[in-house]
Amino acid sequence: MDTTDEITELSSKDEPRLKPIDNPTGIKKKLAYWFTKKKLGKVITPVKVVQARMPETLSLSQKLMSIEDNLSLSDELIFYIKSFVATLNGCSFCIDIAKADAQENIDISKYEQLLNYQSSDVFDKSEKAALQYVEQATLEKQVGDVVFEELQTHYNEKEIVEITWLNALENYYNLINRPLGIASDSLCNSQP
C-alpha cells in the first residue's frame, strides 16, 4: 500500500481517532461545552476531542474567533476563503461549520461554483484574485509574483494581511481536524 492509499484509508473512518469526551471535568471545559451547545445546537467534535484534552487552547480559540469577527473583509469573502481552503484540504468539519455560520447571512449558492471559481462568472475579479492567492498559498506554501500582484490590484495592504491570516488560520484548523479524523457535525442542519 502506498502512502496515498494509506491516507485515504485512514481518513475514511466515520469516527474521530480519539474518542470524544462527552462528560468533561473542570469548570472551564464545562463552560466551553455549554457555550458551543448554546451557540451551535450541539457540542462540536473538536471541543470534545481537542479542547477536552488540551483546555489551554480554549482561550486561543476564543481570541482567534474575536480577531476573525473584526476583520475588515466582507463576511461573504471570509466564507469563500474558509470554505475553499477547507475544501482544498478535505476538511469536512470546517466546510460544514463555515456553511452553518454563513447560512443565515450569505447566499451560499455561489459555493457550488467554488471549485470552478476561475472560469465561473459568479465570482468577481477581486474574489477570484483572493481565491487564487489562498489556493496557491495552501497548495504550494508560497505565492508567485503574478498572483500577488493581481491581489494587490484589488486589496489594500491590511486586507492582504487579513486574507493571508485567514488562510493560515483555516489551514491550522484543517491540520488539527483531518489527522484526528474529525469530520462534519452536520451543523447546517442543526442550527438552534
What is this structure's pTM? Answer: 0.89
**Residue 148 placed within a domain:** yes
Walking along the chain (192 residues) 10 residues at a time, the average pLDDT comes out as 43 81 94 92 96 94 95 95 96 91 76 93 97 98 98 98 98 98 86 46
Can you give the pLDDT at residue 111? 84
Can you give the pLDDT at residue 107? 72
Joined grid coordinates for residue 48: 470534545
Answer yes or no: do 172 and 81 share one domain. yes
Answer yes or no: do 107 and 90 share one domain. yes
Can you give the pLDDT at residue 102? 80
Closest CA to 36 of 51, 54, 26: 51
Can you give the pLDDT at residue 8? 43
Answer yes or no: do 155 and 113 share one domain. yes
Answer yes or no: do 84 and 57 share one domain. no
**Residue 3 placed within a domain:** no
**Residue 16 placed within a domain:** no
Can you give the pLDDT at residue 38? 94
Domain boundary among 36, 70, 104: 70
Domain boundary among 10, 35, 70: 70
Domain boundary among 70, 103, 135: 70
**Residue 17 placed within a domain:** no
**Residue 42 placed within a domain:** yes
Is-contact 136 46, C-beta < 8 A?
A: no
Range of the domain at 31: 22-70
Answer yes or no: do 172 and 128 share one domain. yes
Tally the domains of the chain. 2
User: CB-based burial of residue 121 (10 Å sphere; 0-12 exposed, 13-18 middle, 19+ buried)?
Assistant: exposed
Can you give the pLDDT at residue 100? 84
**Residue 191 placed within a domain:** no
Answer yes or no: do 91 and 157 share one domain. yes
Task: Give me the CATH number covering residue 129.
Answer: 1.20.1290.10
